[in-house]
Amino acid sequence: MTEPAPLNVLFLCTHNSARSILAEALLNHLGHHRFQAYSAGSSPRPNQQPHPLALEALAKAGVPTDGLRSKSWDEFGRPGAPHMDLVITVCDNAAGETCPFWPGQPATAHWGYADPSEAKGAPDQQREAFAHTLLAIRRRLELLVNLPLAGVNRLALQQTARELAGR
């Protein structure tokens, strides 16, 4: 019996440098090939790169960071882009923006997290903000990856992802 294709999940944030990058890397790490995660931003800055403290937090947690890069959400609306099953905004700014049309009308949800890149204070306090955000994302993703997803339709996936926002 062949395994079902993984569910494609796109995490959106404004600049695609911290929260969405953390979520992409973590879901790909935890997803056991049942999920394929991507991330993008509504308006990444020119030459935007993943935040160094995001990459550091992931590495410290044992999560691979190879291939992570900041990109525009336009990349996922082009012909040949992967079909998304679920689109999750992880910052309030992106949640309030008009998203592009996603082919196939994927399920959507909003999981808001404070922006760790805006943390003030000493470098250790900034690192703690990234570690805290990574832990918050991990809690939701662990619940998501452990759901029985066989035969889940778009509405059920959307409802589940939205329920996880309250955790």
Is 2 a member of any domain?
Answer: no
**Band of the pLDDT at 4, cuts 50, 70, 90?**
confident
Predicted confidence (pLDDT) per residue in 73-97, tens digit: 999 988 889 999 999 999 876 555 6
Structure confidence at residue 43 (pLDDT): 85
In our burial notation (b when 16+ CB lie closer than 10 A, e otherwise), range 136-160 reads bbbebbeebbeeebeebeeeebbeb
Predicted confidence (pLDDT) per residue in 103-160, tens digit: 778 888 999 999 999 999 999 999 999 999 999 999 999 989 887 766 566 667 777 7
Which CATH number is 122's domain given? 3.40.50.2300
Structure confidence at residue 161 (pLDDT): 79
- Say if residue 52 is exposed, middle or buried (CB neighbours under 10 Å; 0-12, 13-18, 19+): exposed
Domain span at 154: 7-162
Predicted confidence (pLDDT) per residue in 29-47, tens digit: 999 888 999 999 988 888 8
Is 1 a member of any domain?
Answer: no
Is 44 a member of any domain?
Answer: yes
Neighbours of 114 (CB within 10 A): 14
Structurally, the chain folds into a number of domains equal to: 1
Structure confidence at residue 49 (pLDDT): 93
CA dist., res. 22 & res. 44, Å (int): 16
Is 56 a member of any domain?
Answer: yes
